[in-house]
Structure 1
Amino acid sequence: MEAILSKEVQAGLDAARLSALRKASRLRIEVDGKQHKVLRMWKTGFALEAETAPYLRGLVDLYDGANHLFQCLIVASDEEAGEMHYEFKRATAVADAAALDFERPDNAPVALIE
């Protein structure tokens, strides 16, 4: 059975859902010095609020609070129910150290003492 709601009721429900997502999410993206709140994220992309979301394409940084999580190459895909959806072309996890191109032994010294 499918419930049929008036346009006003559906708009109110959508606004309440977006408000709850805005309050619950700590995720944000940063593009050209501007920050945008991420409403939700899934394995292959994320969603921003459609009213304030620009049509993004290219490299963005994804943060969880102050923690830098990913550097992402994205493309805007579609708009649905007040959300602008973006798909990842690439999402590279940010590491705090450079990648090693050799094997480090377990018993290697931490520093040199002279």
Structure 2
Amino acid sequence: MTTYLPKDITDGLVAARKMALRKASRLRVEADGSSHKVLRRWENGFSVDAADAPHLRGLVELFDGATFIASCLIIASAEEEGEMQYEFKRSTAARDHAPLDFQQDEDAPFALLGKS
């Protein structure tokens, strides 16, 4: 028995895998006013559909649905099986509060009680 598959079947399997990844992922990346669906994400990067996205480079913003996740500086690293892969040069996670500009004491009070 042989493991050879005709090209049209292989292309169909790759397209079906990309469609499943696209439906399962809520992640998207925004660059220069355009938004692109993220197929996969790992610790040091992410991938998008090569046919969908231009050759991205520089500062982009990563979102999970409508929630801002991170601001990232990226470079294109490889194109494999119809996916364009990007690596993070820098990734800064989004915060829901401003960073403190002073050091807090460990035993500092966290609330004041009024006189009763």
What TM-score, normalized to structure 2? Answer: 0.87
1:67-86 pair list within 5 angstroms: 67-86=67-86
Unpaired stretches in structure 1, ≥5 consecutive residues:
none
Runs of 4+ in 1 over 3 A off after TM superposition: none
Verify: 1:94 aligned to 2:94, yes or no. Answer: yes
Residue identity opposite 2:109 in structure 1: N
1:2, CA displacement in angstroms?
7.8
- The CA deviation at 1:3 is 2.3
Shift of the 2–82 alpha-carbon distance from structure 1 to 2, 3 Å rule, reads farther
Identity across the alignment (%)? 56
Q: d(CA) in 1 for partners of 2:91 and 2:78?
A: 19
In the alignment, the residues of structure 2 paired with residue 101 and residue 69 of structure 1 have an alpha-carbon distance, to the nearest angstrom, of: 23
Q: Distance in 1 between matches of 2:3 and 2:66?
A: 42
Partner residue in 1 for 2:63: 63
Aligned to 1:27: 27
With over 3 angstroms needed to count, the CA separation of the structure-2 counterparts of 1:97 and 1:14, relative to structure 1, is: same
Question: What SS class does the counterpart of residue 69 from structure 2 fall into?
Answer: strand
Q: Aligned residues, how many?
A: 110
Structure 2 residue 18 is the aligned partner of structure 1 residue 18: yes
Q: TM-score, normalised by structure 1?
A: 0.89
Q: CA deviation at 1:98?
A: 1.6
Distance of 1:89 and 1:108 partners within structure 2: 38
Q: Which amino acid aligns with 1:93?
A: A
**Mapped pair 1:107 → 2:109:** yes
CA distance in 2, matches of 1:37, 1:104: 41
- Residues 3/25 of structure 1: CA separation in 2 closer, same or farther (3 Å cut): same
Shift of the 38–11 alpha-carbon distance from structure 1 to 2, 3 Å rule, reads: same
Gaps of 5+ in 2: none
Decide which structure has the larger Cα Rg and report it: 2
